[in-house]
């Protein structure tokens, strides 16, 4: 399968060994195994390389990011950053309202 051209929708996965193995088993090619020591650096590389429109990272990666990187991840649309549960199953749930605001730039409100 050819690689996606720069900025043309490639996906990169960042996570601990178990997560990386799982994504490789389903056919993902651009998977980076990280440790708590390397997570912040690898995340920054993925955000800056311009080849990806989606960064999938484990919650353990999120915990290793600086406040600035976390803010950039939450506000970024290109690439879009999605955090998934790691092998421990810990996960911080983003509300639908927060996701819509971040991705679509709209506020969801129920009519009164």
Q: Which residue has the higher pLDDT, 39 or 89?
A: 39
* Residue at 2 is within a domain: no
Residue 37 has pLDDT above 70, yes or no: yes
Position 5 confidence tier, pLDDT thresholds 50, 70, 90 = very low
* Residue at 112 is within a domain: no
CA distances from 6 to 13, 66, 94 (A): 16, 26, 29
pLDDT at 44: 96
d(CA 70, CA 111): 32
* Residue at 5 is within a domain: no
* Residue at 111 is within a domain: no
Average pLDDT over residues 77-100: 74
* Residue at 36 is within a domain: yes
> Structural domain tally of the chain?
1
Residue 110 has pLDDT above 70, yes or no: no
Cα angle: 25, vertex 81, 76; to 5 degrees: 155
Element (H, E) at 16: none
Position 47 confidence tier, pLDDT thresholds 50, 70, 90 = very high
Residue 77 has pLDDT above 80, yes or no: yes
pLDDT at 6: 44
Cα angle: 55, vertex 104, 90; to 5 degrees: 45
* Residue at 22 is within a domain: yes
* Residue at 20 is within a domain: yes
* Residue at 67 is within a domain: yes
Instruction: Evaluate if pTM is beyond 0.75.
Output: no
Average pLDDT over residues 64-88: 88
Q: Which domain holds residue 50?
A: 10-104
- Give the domain CATH number at 81: 3.40.50.10580
d(CA 46, CA 56): 10
pLDDT at 23: 93
């Amino acid at each position: 399968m050819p690689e996606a051209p720069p900025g043309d929708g490639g996906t990169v996965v960042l996570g601990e060994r178990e997560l990386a193995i799982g994504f490789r088993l389903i056919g993902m090619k651009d998977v980076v195994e990280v440790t708590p020591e390397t997570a912040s650096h690898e995340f920054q590389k993925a955000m800056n390389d311009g080849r990806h429109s989606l960064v999938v990272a484990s919650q353990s990666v999120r915990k290793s990011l600086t406040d600035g990187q976390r803010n950039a991840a939450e506000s970024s649309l290109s690439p879009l950053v999605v955090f998934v549960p790691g092998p421990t199953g810990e996960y911080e749930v983003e509300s639908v309202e927060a996701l819509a605001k971040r991705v679509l730039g709209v506020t969801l409100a129920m009519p009164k």
